[in-house]
Amino acid sequence: MNTEESKSNASVNSQFSILNSPAHEVSEARPTGRQSSILIQIKNLTKHFPIQRGFWSRTIGHVKALNGINLNIHQNEIIGIVGESGCGKSTLGKLILKLIEPTSGEVLYLNKNIFTIPEKELRALRKKLQMVFQNPYSSLNPRMKVFEIIKEPLIVHKIFNEKEQINNRIYELLKLVGLEKEHSTKYPHELSGGQRQRVAIARTLSLNPEFLVLDEPVSALDVSVQAQILNLLLDLHKNLNLTYLFISHNLSVVSYIATQIAVMYLGHIVEIGPKEKIINNPKHPYTVALLSAAPRIEQRQEARGKRQEQAQHKRIILTGEIPDPSNPPSGCVFRTRCPIVKEKCSIEEPILTEYNGQLVACHYAGELVG
C-alpha cells in the first residue's frame, strides 16, 4: 500500500479554500468549542536567552524570546499558534514540555507546576506530554528501523514486560497511523516524507499521551501529503481524545485544524480567540495583515458577482523587519510596523483585552479592516 498516493485531491483543495468559507461551514468539519476542564495553564511565562561574548563568555544582553505569556489550554482543544519566524512559537512549545528552563513563570499541568515537581514525577509526566517535531528525517534515528524507533519509548518507560505485548502494540500503532506491518522493517531513509512523519506520530502515541505539541509537523512535506497528515491528526484527536498545541507559520494550515487561534508577535500573544472569530473578524492590525496576505481561491462565477467585495479586500503590506528581540521597541512591540500607529503606542504597552469573545492586545483594536 502506498499511503502517500492513495488519497484524493479533495482534502488538498479544502486546505486552501478554508479562508473563503463561512464560519458555520468551517465549524461543521472540525471540532469546536471549549471544554470546561483546563488541562494546562500557562502563567506569565518568560524566556530570555543570554547573549555571551568573549573568552569568559560574559553576558552582554538577552534575547527576549517570550515575555509574560498567559494561556489556558482546555481538554480536547486544538490551540493553533501562528506567527512569523522568530516570534517565539517553538520556544513556547519547548517550555510547556520542560525541554528548556524558563526565566520566570509557571506551566501547570492539572494544577502541578512542571518546573518544580520532583524528577521522578516529571519522568512519569513525560508519558502524558509529548511532541512531534518539524522534520521527521532529523527526529528519527537513521540507524534504527521503524520497529526499534517505536519500541524504544516502550522499553524506556517499561510499559510492557512481555515481548509479544510490545510487538502487538507496535503493529497496532502502525495501523493507527495508516502504515502496514511491512514498514516496521524499513529504515527512515527508505520511507517517503509523509511516511516518516507517520512513524514519528506513532512513536509519540506509544505512551498514550494526553497532550501533544505539534511543532510545524507538515511544513517539511509536499502540499498533497500535508492534507493527509492533517486529516490523520484530526482523526487521532477525535478518536483518542487528545489535546493539541499546533504551531505553524501557515495561517491556512492552522485554520484547517485548530479550534482556537493565538497570534504571536515578538514573544507576545497579540490576539487569541475562536477560529471563526479570528478568521472572519480579526481585531489586531497584525492579524488583519496576516489574513490579507493569505491566498484566496474563488470560483470564476462567484468572483464576477463579488467584484465590489473583492475591491474592498486589499493586501496590507507591512514594511520593515521584525525588531531585534534583544532590543524590542518600547510600548507596543508591533508599533514599528503598524499601519495605524499613534503616539500612545510608543508609551504604553497594550494588554490583552476582551472584544466580543476574543482577546486583543491593541489600543486601537478593530480600526484596521482588510
Name the amino acid, one letter, at 255. Answer: S
Cell 528525517: give the residue.
Answer: 137
The span from the CA of 228 to the CA of 59, in Å, is 46
User: If we measure between CA atoms, which residue out of 276, 280, 346 comes closest to residue 32?
Assistant: 276
Q: Return averaged pLDDT per consecutive 10 residues of the chain, 370 residues in all.
A: 43 40 34 65 96 89 94 96 92 96 96 94 93 90 95 92 92 96 95 94 96 93 90 96 94 92 96 94 92 65 48 69 90 93 93 91 80
For 333, the 3-state DSSP assignment is: coil
pTM metric for this prediction: 0.85
The residues with which 243 forms a beta bridge, in sequence order, are: 211
Element (DSSP H or E) covering residue 353: strand 353-355
Closest Cα partner for 244 from 205, 203, 210? 210
Return the CA Rg of the chain.
22
Beta strand 268-274 pairing with 260-265: antiparallel
Please state, as a whole number, how many other Cβ atoms lie within 10 Å of the Cβ of residue 163. 8
Of the candidates 188, 175, 195, 177, the residue with the CA atom closest to the CA atom of residue 146: 188
- 32, three cell numbers: 469546536
What are the structural domain ranges in the chain?
A: 285-360
How many Å apart are CA 132 and CA 333, to the nearest integer? 30
Predicted confidence at residue 368, as pLDDT, reads 67
Residues recorded for the chain: 370
Q: Contact, 139 vs 200, CB < 8 A?
A: yes
Q: How high is the pLDDT of residue 313?
A: 56
Per-residue confidence (pLDDT) for residue 49, from 0 to 100: 96
Alpha helices in the chain (DSSP H): 10-17, 23-29, 89-96, 119-125, 136-139, 146-156, 163-176, 193-205, 223-240, 251-257, 275-280, 285-293, 300-304, 307-312, 343-347
